[in-house]
Amino acid sequence: MKAIIIGFMGSGKTTVSRLLAQKLGCRAFDLDEYIVENERRSVKQIFEEDGEDYFRKREHELLLEILKEDAVLATGGGTPLREDNRMAMKNAGVPVILLEASSKETFERLQGDDTRPLATGLDETSLGNLKNQRRQAYEECADYAIKTDEMTPLEITEKISELL
């Protein structure tokens, strides 16, 4: 593992992880995409058919699998909520980088995205409240935090490269 990118949904984790992996010459993993690939159904379907607890269990199992790879990992927005996930990421021996976007920016990025079950139907305030509920878990496992509102994905990638 080269780096782990965490943050709330819509913070740019997937885009940045792919750019960073390209720059570092390694593979990029998106944990949510990896779950979908392994489950052969969407995150939304998993939540609807088996519930969030099942999803979080699979997320943990597959996180442990990916952490063995020589790659850059973009976690799901909820991955750091479980203490065992936070510990696994901290013990991976690589920087954990938190991408932070403002609630306003996050809301704008998620407009019309119906693939995120926990954000569907939330207004800007409710989305901000959910983000704030997760803040402590994110900060607990992050080695670095980058505010992304005024930055392009390439600028964020360059900043992370400097940290590495």
CB atoms closer than 10 angstroms to residue 63: 24
Q: What angle do CA 44, 29, 102 make, to 5 degrees?
A: 65
> Which pLDDT tens digit goes with each residue over 11-56?
889 999 999 999 999 999 999 999 999 999 998 899 999 999 999 9
pLDDT band for position 62 (cuts 50, 70, 90): very high
Long-range contacts of 151-156 (CB under 8 A, 24+ apart): 153/12, 153/15, 153/16, 153/19, 154/19, 156/12, 156/16, 156/99
Q: Report the pLDDT value the prediction gives residue 128, as an integer from 0 to 100.
A: 79
* Predicted local distance difference test score (pLDDT) of residue 121: 62
Annotated binding-site positions for ATP: 10-15, 116
Residues in the annotated binding site: 10-15, 32, 56, 77, 116, 134
Tell me the per-residue pLDDT of 94-148, one tens digit each, with 9 for 90 and over. Answer: 999 999 988 787 767 666 656 555 556 667 787 778 888 989 999 999 999 999 9
Tell me the binding residues for Mg(2+).
Answer: 14
Least confident of 41-45, 64-68, 75-79, 127-131: 127-131
List the binding residues for substrate.
Answer: 32, 56, 77, 134
Domains of the chain, first to last: 3-158 (3.40.50.300)
